[in-house]
Amino acid sequence: MSSELLIVLMMYDRAIDEEVMEMLSSLEIRYYTKWRDVVGVGRRDPHLGDDVWPGLNNVLLMVIDEEKKRRLVEMVKVLQKNFPSVGLRAFVAPVLEMV
């Protein structure tokens, strides 16, 4: 297993928050930062929290190792297949420095 740390930023429709949090629990990802009720515009309908575009998103930021990242990405792909009409994206980048 690599000791390299990676940052994962995940944005998803808050409608699947329970499934996402269960996924983190099953992977034993205990440390994260979570923003709730975030607005944004992506490839799907806007989520602006207003009368016209009422949806909202949640965002998670995690710093994890390569093995957990690999398993997380696999599970994100499963969730995307299980909820094809709901927005869910994960972005991965190396942690260059942590102080």
Question: Mean pLDDT of residues grouped by 10 in the chain (99 residues)?
Answer: 84 97 97 96 83 93 97 98 94 95
pLDDT at 1: 41
Q: Are 14 and 60 in contact (CB under 8 A)?
A: no
**Residue 9 contacts by C-beta under 8 Å, 6 or more apart in sequence?**
59, 60, 61, 90, 91, 93
The pLDDT assigned to 57 comes to 95
Q: Which pLDDT value is given to residue 51?
A: 87
| Burial (CB count within 10 angstroms: exposed 0-12, middle 13-18, buried 19+), residue 66 | middle
Q: Which domains are delineated in the chain?
A: 5-94 (3.30.70.120)
Read off the pTM: 0.88
